[in-house]
């Protein structure tokens, strides 16, 4: 298992507001940078889309902990299985911290090729969530 972690980001909104946005994929695409994402499809608990420079991504929500954590796993045809989770912590009223972690099952060859795009994807996702005006 290979782990990728985002930088800890500050969000100028309560964790409950951010959680409500991210715990339903029908709302999730709004936090992603439109110039990096295409072919978005969602049914609430799962989604599929393409990330420029990364390729197709499929996610499904597998666990929610109100206002703290949302856990996702790979879904559909993806080149490898992975788990992704978003951690939120309200540090003071109206301000939260965000961290994204991705654990991927990568063989050594895929790891060489996928490391850069996965780090890029985690960064894009963290920046998009942190920069969104909730």
**pLDDT single digits (tens) 98-115:** 999 999 999 998 898 889
Q: Residue 36's pLDDT is what?
A: 80
- In angstroms, the CA 31 to CA 82 distance is 21
* pLDDT tens digits, 3-60: 999 999 999 999 999 999 999 999 888 888 788 888 999 999 999 988 777 778 889 9
Q: Residue 41's pLDDT is what?
A: 94
Higher per-residue confidence, 126 vs 54 = 126
For 2-131, CATH number? 3.30.530.20
Calculate the average pLDDT of the chain: 91
Residue 96 predicted with pLDDT over 90: yes
- In angstroms, the CA 56 to CA 61 distance is 17
* pLDDT tens digits, 73-92: 999 877 788 999 999 999 99
Q: Residue 65's pLDDT is what?
A: 97
Q: Residue 35's pLDDT is what?
A: 86
Environment class of 18 (CB within 10 Å of its CB; exposed 0-12, middle 13-18, buried 19+): buried
- In angstroms, the CA 41 to CA 49 distance is 6
Q: Residue 94's pLDDT is what?
A: 92
- In angstroms, the CA 85 to CA 71 distance is 4
- In angstroms, the CA 106 to CA 41 distance is 26
Q: Residue 24's pLDDT is what?
A: 93
């Amino acid at each position: 298992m290979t782990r990728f972690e985002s930088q800890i980001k500050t969000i100028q909104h309560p964790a409950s507001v951010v959680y409500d946005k991210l715990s339903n994929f029908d709302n999730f695409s709004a936090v992603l940078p439109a110039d990096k994402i295409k072919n978005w499809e969602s049914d609430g608990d799962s989604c599929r889309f393409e990330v420029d420079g990364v390729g197709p991504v499929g996610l499904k929500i597998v666990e929610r902990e109100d206002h703290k954590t949302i856990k996702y796993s790979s879904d559909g045809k993806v080149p490898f299985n992975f788990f992704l989770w978003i951690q939120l912590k309200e540090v003071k009223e109206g301000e939260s911290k965000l961290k994204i972690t991705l654990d991927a099952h990568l063989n050594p060859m895929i790891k060489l090729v996928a490391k850069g795009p996965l780090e890029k994807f985690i960064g894009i996702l963290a920046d998009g969530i942190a920069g969104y005006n909730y």
